[in-house]
Structure 1
């Protein structure tokens, strides 16, 4: 039985990458011995039973982390390394000059290609800059002359080129991402760039959705409550729905923006909003709701969309990426042009008036979710792992 090492930024944790890792571990542990290694952890979060042992890097010292990684790979006789997230700082450790090159690496991008274009303004140094400096940067960007922005893009481009060149496989979230990834990052080994969607957890296999008229009049948001998810925008859009007709917007999750959002609701007296906090069992909310709303600034795939659809919940989201589009198309859900806030509000109003939403849409959402079954995607992972060992 081969030994597999998942290497992550945080594990265990509350994010999408950590949740997907749990799902893969629960399936792959039938065929392989699973170990995990991460830079940090959230100890109170439950890990799946299929993990042999979890490790955390010793600290922030780069050289010590490399030595720890190389020693661990040798001591555990690791057969395959799975680079979860393709974070540049972790990839630098994985692909260090002293590593055992006989151990193949599968690198998995859990976001959208070119997402670095969206994170520039969230970087600490950029956020701390004065308004006048930011204004100069914006003007320079119009002429492709913003050195800080171009340096960021160049760093990511070189990073992805190196990761792809040294990985046995580079795994993206959907077929639509493959061509854009290869083209934008000028990838040489295109044949080894493949698409495998994130799977639903095993516990979703037996789900039988409620009928539409048995559900509550609720619109869900499920995920991290942070700037990139733009829950503040969702709340402001909901605020513009004056007659809510008993419908509720239910926010499930926590994060650095939670207190700020609660204050926003209180200050503007936004009605019919419930904050439910973080949960390891979001299905508690999926099973009763009718719609799920996603207003993210960027999104790789949106596992909350797929999870909700398994329960027959109809998704409504901005068209922020090919990944989100690939999930919502043919699902009965509604895809809104990016930043068309007026259209999003119009849809929310139609929902609360009963003009949108029925059993047919719910059934389509459930049917589309079947494509993301772990019993379909799990065997693909087993095949990929065995292939890279044999290459």
Structure 2
């Protein structure tokens, strides 16, 4: 298929990991002479750079509450046709109205990208706090804590819900892209082995639609080899269910008591910001800095010796490979399959059994004192990051387009 116009859909844009992927791929496609559009429900205009504005155009849905609202569907039907969009890449929005768009949009190919672990929604709901639900009134929060959350934790209701959603989605898309081979195999086994009586023959109809493409990195900004400071870094969205930054603060409580010359810097923002500030005060943390959101994180990667994730689940962990480009050593819980694509334990990063805070702190402290280990991990990190260079990943997307 010859592709002239490519569109993406991200619910918020441009802040977030999946949004960074969209931006990186937009630069690649634009450099190849393609027109790029980005549809979104929440456009953060002040976060767009001059280069962004020169690279892609944006289109904002009229109703920000739900992509499937009638106004949004009609807007997309009209826009996709008028803009002559050849491919629409939807970034991890399972409820996107693919079936209704197909009623009138004949010349656009639809690609769904899973940017997390298969059925990540189950973990998300089970770990969600009551203030994170929609319209969190006092009565709704009580209902969530004492009725809905126990049902979610101790029954298969969520699994049945999302299996039905994914199986319906499969029939209306042209490709299903996961982040690594393990995720692709896992989601297929989950869907095709489920008792879906209303979808007979689903494996035969849709198995060929699955593929995997890792997230791409922009070329690093020179210099990438810099003197390192005694800094441990976190970069990402401040959210609870997945990121669990509260664990990192509790780990840091153990670390700073023994290494008062090291600092923890957290770069990012999100709904958990105030809770994390309160937790830092309650723990009495002294060697910590909340740096806020920064579009350009390279200056932090250059200075930091380590970057830490303490997530319950991740799709890929873009910050880890971004940090590797600058010799910043990744440390993470061994809590999701794709982390093994990013690093090898003891060679290009440090993996800790989930979710052992004591062993995590011990691993950091041991690495602080082992300069030979740091040099080996740093050297191998530079090499590991090269696998995700934009040119190589972009070519995989062009190959996918050619087969549509």
SS in 1 for 2:160: helix
Q: Structure 1 residue 49: deviation in Å?
A: 3.9
Q: Structure 1 residue 127: deviation in Å?
A: 5.6
The verdict on how the C-alpha distance between 1:263 and 1:275 changes in structure 2, with shifts beyond 3 A counting, is same
Any residues of structure 2 matched to 1:93-108 within 5 Å, and which?
95-96=100-101, 98-108=103-113
Q: Does 1:291 align with 2:297?
A: no
Q: Does 1:240 align with 2:218?
A: no
Q: Does 1:197 align with 2:197?
A: no
Q: Structure 1 residue 154: deviation in Å?
A: 2.0
User: 1:94-142, CA deviations, whole angstroms, 9 ceiling, x for partnerless residues?
Assistant: 654523244211111111112022012326278643755478547x72x
Q: 1:270 matched to which residue of 2?
A: 285
Counterpart pick for 1:53 among 47, 50, 57: 57
Unaligned runs of 5+ in 2: 135-139, 193-201
Question: CA separation in 2, counterparts of 1:17 and 1:127?
Answer: 29
Question: CA separation in 2, counterparts of 1:290 and 1:343?
Answer: 19
Question: CA separation in 2, counterparts of 1:195 and 1:19?
Answer: 18
Question: CA separation in 1, counterparts of 2:163 and 2:188?
Answer: 11
Q: 2:183 matched to which residue of 1?
A: 177
Moved more, 36-45 or 46-55: 46-55
The verdict on how the C-alpha distance between 1:80 and 1:130 changes in structure 2, with shifts beyond 3 A counting, is closer
Question: CA separation in 1, counterparts of 2:342 and 2:316?
Answer: 7
Any residues of structure 2 matched to 1:202-351 within 5 Å, and which?
202=219, 204=220, 208-210=224-226, 214-227=227-240, 228-241=242-255, 242-329=257-344, 331-351=347-367
Q: Does 1:63 align with 2:77?
A: no
Question: CA separation in 1, counterparts of 2:223 and 2:403?
Answer: 33
Question: CA separation in 1, counterparts of 2:272 and 2:161?
Answer: 29
Q: Does 1:163 align with 2:169?
A: yes
Q: Structure 1 residue 52: deviation in Å?
A: 4.5
Q: Structure 1 residue 352: deviation in Å?
A: 3.8
Q: Does 1:113 align with 2:106?
A: no
The verdict on how the C-alpha distance between 1:322 and 1:267 changes in structure 2, with shifts beyond 3 A counting, is same
Q: TM-score, normalised by structure 2?
A: 0.86
Q: Structure 1 residue 74: deviation in Å?
A: 1.1
The verdict on how the C-alpha distance between 1:5 and 1:271 changes in structure 2, with shifts beyond 3 A counting, is same
Does the 8 Å contact 1:69/1:93 carry over to 2? no
Q: Structure 1 residue 357: deviation in Å?
A: 4.0
Question: CA separation in 1, counterparts of 2:334 and 2:157?
Answer: 28
Q: 1:374 matched to which residue of 2?
A: 390
Q: TM-score, normalised by structure 1?
A: 0.89
Q: 1:24 matched to which residue of 2?
A: 25
User: 1:287-334, CA deviations, whole angstroms, 9 ceiling, x for partnerless residues?
Assistant: 111111100121000000000011111111001110122212265211
Question: CA separation in 1, counterparts of 2:328 and 2:102?
Answer: 48
Q: Structure 1 residue 162: deviation in Å?
A: 2.4
Does the 8 Å contact 1:205/1:373 carry over to 2? no
The verdict on how the C-alpha distance between 1:355 and 1:205 changes in structure 2, with shifts beyond 3 A counting, is closer
Q: Structure 1 residue 28: deviation in Å?
A: 0.5
Question: CA separation in 1, counterparts of 2:99 and 2:294?
Answer: 32
The verdict on how the C-alpha distance between 1:354 and 1:310 changes in structure 2, with shifts beyond 3 A counting, is same
Q: Structure 1 residue 266: deviation in Å?
A: 1.9
User: 1:28-48, CA deviations, whole angstroms, 9 ceiling, x for partnerless residues?
Assistant: 012311111112211211152
Q: 1:2 matched to which residue of 2?
A: 4
Any residues of structure 2 matched to 1:55-94 within 5 Å, and which?
55-59=59-63, 60=65, 62-85=69-92, 87-89=93-95, 91-92=96-97
Does the 8 Å contact 2:6/2:86 carry over to 1? yes
User: 1:329-354, CA deviations, whole angstroms, 9 ceiling, x for partnerless residues?
Assistant: 26521111111222112112223444
Moved more, 340-349 or 96-105: 96-105
The verdict on how the C-alpha distance between 1:363 and 1:95 changes in structure 2, with shifts beyond 3 A counting, is farther
Q: Structure 1 residue 377: deviation in Å?
A: 0.7
Does the 8 Å contact 2:367/2:374 carry over to 1? no
Q: Does 1:15 align with 2:20?
A: no
Question: CA separation in 1, counterparts of 2:20 and 2:181?
Answer: 22
Does the 8 Å contact 2:224/2:302 carry over to 1? no
User: 1:245-289, CA deviations, whole angstroms, 9 ceiling, x for partnerless residues?
Assistant: 401111111112122222222222112111111100111100111
Q: CA RMSD in A?
A: 2.3
